[in-house]
Structure 1
């Protein structure tokens, strides 16, 4: 948890408490339903929470914004972002029901009123959102094709509406066709840990 406080110094007492609770909640639920690899649970704050919050270094969501988290898994990046932005609405979807059960239980335990978790495929989601976020669930062009129908046209945030995607490794070829619609942010610009060396946040205007 010290890791989060190192980079996010202006958290309220409630936000600090909620983020602190994540370790025990995920440990408890992971013992019942494996949503995070066993070795990863000990690095929860580095590999999952702080990684998710790289998005918060790129954008501060305007209150009332609506965000869709696709392939949320155990609730990343949606749950940490929902804690940080209590006035933004987050819709977390995953095609695996047991993962959504964990997300629902964690959100309820934390008292997050701005989270809706749903067992569905994004292809079935008809609602439109300001942003669609995800942690590299598939190749980027396939992701764009799946979610472009879900983006609102009118902007109310500092960044234009679109996709905010957390990705690691080399994927220049995947994003090249989109040209100037793409902005890339290196996670090493925000965080000093070695884990972030190849990690990036991709914003694509839709």
Structure 2
């Protein structure tokens, strides 16, 4: 799938949400996260923990950590799928699907994301690959929901994020949210 500037921005915004939110039923502005679950976490490879709280109107305070037990290189892939429907029980259309080797992601889309989080984390710099094993943290990142709503049409979303190795998910999150 080719990417326009708008779809790249959309990808970064939604990836930010999937990586940074966990508390179901969080609302900010008119964005409602109704479900967020970690479906798979292979603790031989990775441990993750994320917290979120509404800091003020249209701003969510996000913190989390990701512990990698192994170096992560291009033998690993990031799979990211965004589905959208007008109604929560309606038919969801695939609006974005990306699957990239981790190093390729680190040299492309991650650069934009990194600029937003670098002052709040010990995240590796863009282009770092393999990602060294270790603990990565994000503390008190102010996620501006108003900006997210500019990039996403009103509706219901299902977002799936997987970190895969050998065609097997080692970390898999799924989120459902609504934007009015």
TM over 0.5: no
Richer in helix (by share): 1
Task: Tell me the TM-score normalised to structure 2 length.
Answer: 0.29
Report which structure shows greater RCO (CA 8 Å, sep ≥6): 2
